[in-house]
A = this chain, B = another copy of it.
Amino acid sequence: MASRSRRPERRQEPLSRERIVGVAVELLDTVGERGLTFRALAERLATGPGAIYWHITGKAELLAAATDAVVAAAVSAGPAGPTGSGGSAGPTGAGPSPQDAIRAVALNLFDATEAHPWLATQLATQLSRTPWGTVAPRIFESLGRQVRAMDVPEAHWFTASSALMHYILGAAGQNAVNAEGTDTPGSEVDRDEFLDTVSTAWEGLDPDDYPFTRAVADQVRGHDDREQFLDGIALVLAGITALHSPGR
């Protein structure tokens, strides 16, 4: 006779940092950065705004924790997506090459910024405001291990890993479609419309000031973001090999 829901009273779980951060990510995904307020958060958690401050020091920490949670999930996820699976395995077939592993991490981060439109901006904020935080090491470590596996000499580990990380962050930042207010954040239609908007804008630039940009404007239309992103990764990897490979 009493209610018999599978999971007992989802409502009344005690407040916790994890639960708060989880709802914060949900809010960021659905209503954007402006929609993440302590009042909205409190309402979804069926509590008052003040209660949140017992677990989190303030909004800065909340955003940092949300960013960290999403990045942690991205770098520890397995290889994903159709474009990423075409890489060559090692000669003996004993698992992915370091280059493949780098591509997998990079694509996971790239996809995360598309799934969470707020992520790119928050990554920039977190890395520039608190670079000693947990976000940078997570990314740096997962890339650096593979750089080491590529037999890059130790003196160049830092430069090579940094270059990879910077390219990934820069590219992810620019490709993130910030669809604040759009109801279908990552749909195909939005995507094409978006690329078309950029392409058209570039074609309309002053011919005297922007000859190059105008010349490539048409290449923007309908290009595959992930493929373009991987081309850039290949370029950086080629640079690492050219400058730092021991066999040269």
Q: Which of A1-9, A13-21, A22-30, A134-142 contacts B (4 or more CB under 8 A)?
A: A134-142
Interface of A is mostly: helix
Chain B contacts for A132, CB-based, 8 A = 197-198, 200-202
Indicate whether A99 reaches chain B with its CB closer than 8 angstroms.
no
B174 contacts A228, C-beta separation under 8 Å? no
Indicate whether A51 reaches chain B with its CB closer than 8 angstroms.
no
A120, B120: Cα distance in complex, Å: 12
B174 contacts A173, C-beta separation under 8 Å? no
B128 contacts A163, C-beta separation under 8 Å? no
Chain B contacts for A128, CB-based, 8 A = 117, 120-121, 173-174, 176-178
Q: Which of A35-43, A84-92, A240-248 contacts B (4 or more CB under 8 A)?
A: A240-248
Closest to A173 in B: B124
Indicate whether A234 reaches chain B with its CB closer than 8 angstroms.
yes
| Residues A167-209 near B (CB distance < 8 A) | 167-171, 173-174, 176-178, 180, 194, 197-198, 200-202, 205, 209
Pick from B123, B148, B171: contact of A166, CB under 8 Å:
B171
Chain B contacts for A170, CB-based, 8 A = 165-171, 173
B141 contacts A212, C-beta separation under 8 Å? yes
Chain B contacts for A197, CB-based, 8 A = 132
Indicate whether A158 reaches chain B with its CB closer than 8 angstroms.
yes
How many identical chains are in the complex? 2
Indicate whether A162 reaches chain B with its CB closer than 8 angstroms.
yes
Chain B contacts for A140, CB-based, 8 A = 212-213
Interface residues on A, range: 35 or more
A158 contacts B240, C-beta separation under 8 Å? no
Q: Known pairs A148-B212, A238-B243, A242-B242. 11 more at Cβ < 8 A?
A: A121-B121, A131-B198, A140-B213, A161-B212, A163-B232, A166-B166, A166-B170, A166-B173, A166-B174, A169-B169, A239-B242
- What is the interface of chain A, defined by CB distance below 8 A to chain B? 117, 120-121, 123-125, 127-129, 131-132, 136-137, 140-141, 144-145, 148, 154, 157-163, 165-171, 173-174, 176-178, 180, 194, 197-198, 200-202, 205, 209-213, 215-216, 219-220, 223, 228, 231-232, 234-243
